[in-house]
Structures are given as structure tokens and as C-alpha cells.
Structure 1
Amino acid sequence: MPVFVSRRAALFATAGALSLPALRTAQAQQTFEWVAGSVGGGWYTMAAGLSALIAEENPAIRIRVVPGGGLANSTRVNNNQSPIGWGIDAFAAAAARGEDPYNRKHEDLRSLGTGYSPTEHNLLRTAEGPEDMRAILTQRGLKIAAPQRSSTDEMTLQRILRFLGTSPDQIRSNGGRYLNGSYADIGAAFADGQVDYMYAALAKPAALLTELGQGRRAARLVGFPDDIRKHLIDTYAYNEGVLPAGTYPTLQTGPLTVTTMDSVIMVHKDVPDDVAYGITRTLIRNRGQRLTSIHASMGAFDPAKAWRYQGVPLHPGAARAFREAGVMPPA
């Protein structure tokens, strides 16, 4: 028996059919928040660049980047406030174990590997005055700036000060100044003469240090003494490395041995396997020139080493991507 359909009904049916693919795409597309670092810092720049790259190769994945800090990011990701975030290898491991500075185990953390951006710790000084880190940080009247209290930079500086028998409160009581702020804030404080020293952990080449090196105030970077590097390595699982000569031509006269740490991409355990897989696969496929174009420090990313990080369990989706790339043994 024939079925007669009105022209209007037919038009609605056609419009509905045409809208289904778009509807399915909208439903499939997912947006995830990535907590990075301070606006203007390397982490924020890298997360923004990676979000565009990931969307380019994974149309169903959208990432919104928000500012954060290395110390607080682990808790934020563990609580699923931001399901993706940058972390520091040693601090992410401490969070997973519930060790200082964290007061509970972060059991919902997973990782997409590490080695994405080796980061150097930098102490910048004026051209005049003490040149040795110990003499600088223990002098009376010290005026120093560091990032916010929620950052791994500032936590590291406090650990160094404690090792040297001093503290922010001691600095202030001795007539000095201990300022905290964004990278832009502390850079401006140094450039304007509000402080004579600045501490920041930034992957080379850091725009902030490059700009200060081109400024009107003569400045120099300070190497890390053997005992301070050893203390940070033995007690807190930091690393050490060399800032090559010429990295910041006006701020150094040769190579400098410094404390280093590395970046890990943390995700909440409930991030879908296909999303973790898609993100990790994109990073692996674009290692080298493409990642370096986002930030020079990302040129160090080596998938064969990235999956070996033991501080936080590897997300199953990331493990699949590393195995497909042939750098991780079969399960």
C-alpha cells in the first residue's frame, strides 16, 4: 500500500537527515581542560601549541588551556578539576606517594609519559655584588623575587634556603625583600630594580630571560654549587644538567651547571582510553621539528624514554600509543 507524505513533512525529514552527521560530530567532540603554568611561561605556551596540534589530528578532541602551577597541578588533575595538566616529574611522583609537600596519596593520577620539556632552574643576579649562590642567598638585605607560592620554582627555592639555614621570613627579618608574582611580575621587579635577584625554573630558551638579557640592567646567571645540587638530587629526586654556553649570550660567559627537572603530562584516570591514545600518538608522530617549533625545549622528547617514567602509572591509552610506535614492549 503506498504511503503519501506531504511536501512539508518530506522537507522536515530531509533536513533532519542532513543534520544527523553534524549532530553526531557535536556529540562525539569532547573538550578537556589542560592546566598549565603562568600565562607567559613555557608551560602555557607549550600547552597552547599542543592543543592546536592535537585538534588538527584529532577532530573530536578539543583542549582549553588554563593557568596553573607545578605544585598545585597534581592535586587539580587528581581531583578531576582539570583532567589534563603539566607536572614536574619529582613533584608528580611525590603527589602519587602522598609525600611532602602533599598530605595524601593522589591515587587517581596517570601519565602520558615524561621528557616533554627538560627545565633548568635559574638564579639571575645583578652584575654587581656576590657571585656565589650561597653568598647571595645568605647575605643581609637580600632582595629576591620568585614565582607564586603554588609553583615548583618557589618550592625549590625554599628548599635551597632551608638547606642554607635561612628562609623567606629570615630574609625579611634581616631587612631584605622576598617577592612572589607571575613571571611577568618578577621579571618587571628585577628590571625596575625592586629586587636584585630573581629565581625561576624555565625551559631554555626562556623568553623572560632573553628579554632581561636585552634590557638596560646588566645581569648574570649563577651556577648551582655541587653541595646544593647533590642535596636536591638525594633528598627530592631532582636532576642536574648544563646550560650550554651561548644559551643566553649576555647572561653567561660559559656553560653553567644547574639543577634541572622534567615535565610530565598528567591525566585523570577517567580520561577515556581513546583520548589518551590520540593525544600520545600525536605527540609521538610529531616529535622533532614540529614539537620544537612549539617550544625549543620539546626537541628533547624521546618516546623510547618517555614511557619509562615510574613516578605515576602510565595511562592505558598512552601505553597503547607507545607500543604501536614500537618503543615499548608488548603487554
Structure 2
Amino acid sequence: MALMIPRRLALGAALAAPFVRTAAAQQTLEWVAGSVGGGWYTIAAGLSSLIAEDNPDLRIRVVPGGGVANSTRVNNNQSPLGWGIDTFTAAAAKGEEPYSQKHENLRSLGTGYSPTEHNLIRVTGQGPEDMRGILTQRGLKIACPQRSSTDETTLQRILRFYGTSPDAIRNGGGRYLNGSYTDIAAAFADGQVDYLYAALAKPAAILTEIGQGRRNARLVEFPDEVRKHLIDAFAYAEGVIPAGTYPTLQDRDVKVTTMDTVLMVHASVSDDVAYRITRTLIRNRGQRLVQIHASMASWDPATSWRYSGVPLHPGAARAFREVGAMPAA
């Protein structure tokens, strides 16, 4: 004998059931990126939409962050996903400067997502043109991103190499400003500072804007001594901003210090979630990623998984192995 269910009750259950299933399946993750207006924030926002498109039950909320602080934020699971810089992420895992303790909960979904160049911009027509002369001059007025960013930490390392510091700049009658990328670009455009330091993947929007602005400006080459010091002491890399990248800021290739981007996750992120995020990135490599940001053109799964600064998440390893980018276990 069939069990009779009142029509009103059955209709209510039918309407409620899809909502319950959707709510149970929905998962929201926070991704700590970089400053609003910077490449990291733009790329994370674009990738979060791509991941949601491929995985309707995953939602990613992007929040501002900084390359130095992001490792600690992900390690503490305040944000289970985050951008990191290869050398800083490895230092965090080991508890080395600028970190005071080992970050043992960090895992990666690979590296190479957005190679990042360090840039020093100077206004033309006044003052020294070389890095040493610029950074050691009395009355220097320079802007860089906020503290806890890899940009600012690297600038401080260069200043220390040259025997100076932010306090020495201020005490010498100069100006050392910190702010978002938008803030420091505005400070340069308005003449509050004559120099700007920022680590940004090319082509960087704020550098393009500066090149089109009313103040004539140029990129400053990183001298051999600085590039060698940062490589030997802190495991940075070196590269070139090719001529024509910023037509009004350069007339030739410019040698610079570089870093690379790691996608960090907390160890508690499930294998399934890590697998699906990595799978989406692999599936969309090439033109789809380039549409989000040109710096992702060179991302290659065959080398991405090789980063050894922190352990590769097992879910990511599954995705890399599935397409033959990584050898079988």
C-alpha cells in the first residue's frame, strides 16, 4: 500500500530540497592577493571567476594582502589560499628572515603563475640617474608599497646594502612614502615624490599610466652589484624588461631583479578542492590565462610543480600527474 503524503507538505518539501542541496554543496574560500590596483589582485580576481565557472560549487572571495604577510595569513588559515613569492615562501617555511618561526602548514599549487619584475622609476631632468646615486642622495623623495609587501622589504634590503634606510632618508630631509599602488602612482604623478619602487608583473598598469602621464620618467637599471647581492643573500633571480615594454620609460632592454609567484594553500584544504582548482588552471593555460593577465603567458604545468620551497599539495600533484606534466608517483 502506498503511503499518502499531503499535497501541501509534498510541495513544500520539493521546493525546499534543491535549496538544501545547493547550500550544502556550496563552499567559499578566501584568497589573499596583493594591493588593489596591482597585478596580483587583478589576476586572483580573474582566476576566481574562471574557477567558479568550471566548478559551480566553489566560490572564491579575493581580499587585499602583501607578499610577506600572505605566507603567515595562509599558514594560520586566515585565508586558505594566497599568492606568495618563491623566495619569501621558502623562507617562511624555514622560519628564516623576515619570519620568526617555521610556517609548517604551507602547501603549494605550483609556481610560475606570474613572474614579477622589480622596478625603480625616476623623474627625468633632475638628480642622479644610477641606483646608488639615487638611493643615497640627500633629500631623496621616494614612494613604495605598504610595509609587509615584498616590494618594500626588497627596497629596504637594497637600501641597507647601500648603507642607508627609510629613517636615514627621512632624517636627511627626504620623504619615504608607503601606500597602495594607486596611491604611490598618484604621489609620483603629483610631484610628491620623484622616484617610485614597485614589484609588478609586466606590463604593469601603473607603469603604463606613468609613461603616459605629464611627468617624463625612466626605468632605472639594477646594477650588477645589487642583482648579485639579492641573488646571493636572498635567492632572488634576475631578468630583463625588454625594450618596448614601456615605450616612453625605456629605449633599450633594462636589467632588473625578479621573483616568481607561488599559489599557496593551507594544508587543511581538501585534496578534491586543490585538485579541481589546479585542474582548472591547467585546462585554461595559454590564451585564456593571458586574457586575465599577460604575465601568465609563460606558465607551464611541466615546470610549475617543481617548486620545492614548500610541499606540493597532494591534490595539485594529482592534477599535474593526470595530464602527464609530473611523473607518476
> 1:92-131 alignment to 2 at 5 Å?
92-128=89-125, 129-131=127-129
> 1:101-180 alignment to 2 at 5 Å?
101-128=98-125, 129-180=127-178
1:84 and 2:117 matched:
no
Unmatched 5+ stretches in structure 1: none
Match of 2:249 in 1: 251
Q: How many percent identity over aligned positions?
A: 77
Between the aligned partners of 1:90 and 1:13, the Cα distance in structure 2 is: 59
Question: What is the CA distance between 1:3 and its match in structure 2?
Answer: 4.5
Between the aligned partners of 2:157 and 2:295, the Cα distance in structure 1 is: 25
Counterpart amino acid of 1:149?
R
SS of 1:130's partner is coil
Match of 1:57 in 2: 54
Question: What is the CA distance between 1:22 and its match in structure 2?
Answer: 3.5
Match of 2:238 in 1: 240
Moved more, 9-18 or 311-320: 9-18
Match of 2:265 in 1: 267
Alignment deviations for residues 28-65 of structure 1 (CA, whole Å, 9 cap, x no partner):
11000000001010000000000000000011110000
SS of 2:22's partner is helix
Alignment deviations for residues 144-180 of structure 1 (CA, whole Å, 9 cap, x no partner):
0010011000000000000111111111111111111
Between the aligned partners of 2:265 and 2:173, the Cα distance in structure 1 is: 43
Aligned partner (choices 219, 223, 228) of residue 225 of structure 1: 223
Between the aligned partners of 1:194 and 1:281, the Cα distance in structure 2 is: 46
Match of 1:289 in 2: 287
Alignment deviations for residues 128-148 of structure 1 (CA, whole Å, 9 cap, x no partner):
221111111111111100100
Q: 1:2 to 1:289 in 2, by over 3 A?
A: closer
TM-score (norm 1): 0.97
Q: 1:3 to 1:73 in 2, by over 3 A?
A: closer
Q: 1:184 to 1:14 in 2, by over 3 A?
A: same
Runs of 4+ with deviation above 6 angstroms: none
Between the aligned partners of 2:256 and 2:323, the Cα distance in structure 1 is: 33
Match of 2:198 in 1: 200
Between the aligned partners of 1:191 and 1:22, the Cα distance in structure 2 is: 51
Between the aligned partners of 2:15 and 2:169, the Cα distance in structure 1 is: 68
Between the aligned partners of 1:4 and 1:190, the Cα distance in structure 2 is: 76
Match of 1:10 in 2: 7
Match of 2:310 in 1: 312
SS of 1:329's partner is coil
Question: What is the CA distance between 1:320 and its match in structure 2?
Answer: 0.4
SS of 1:116's partner is coil
Q: 1:251 to 1:24 in 2, by over 3 A?
A: same
Aligned partner (choices 26, 29, 52) of residue 29 of structure 1: 26
Between the aligned partners of 1:159 and 1:144, the Cα distance in structure 2 is: 15
Between the aligned partners of 2:34 and 2:4, the Cα distance in structure 1 is: 63
Unmatched 5+ stretches in structure 2: none
Number of equivalent positions:
328
Question: What is the CA distance between 1:14 and its match in structure 2?
Answer: 3.7
Between the aligned partners of 2:144 and 2:157, the Cα distance in structure 1 is: 13
SS of 1:15's partner is helix
Between the aligned partners of 2:300 and 2:225, the Cα distance in structure 1 is: 30
Alignment deviations for residues 71-121 of structure 1 (CA, whole Å, 9 cap, x no partner):
100000000000000000000000000000000000000000000000000
Between the aligned partners of 2:254 and 2:192, the Cα distance in structure 1 is: 26
Between the aligned partners of 2:2 and 2:23, the Cα distance in structure 1 is: 36
Alignment deviations for residues 178-202 of structure 1 (CA, whole Å, 9 cap, x no partner):
1111111111111111111000000
Counterpart amino acid of 1:104?
Q
Match of 1:209 in 2: 207
Counterpart amino acid of 1:97?
K
Match of 1:329 in 2: 327
Between the aligned partners of 2:150 and 2:2, the Cα distance in structure 1 is: 74
Counterpart amino acid of 2:160?
R
Between the aligned partners of 2:131 and 2:264, the Cα distance in structure 1 is: 33
RMSD: 1.0
Between the aligned partners of 1:139 and 1:3, the Cα distance in structure 2 is: 89
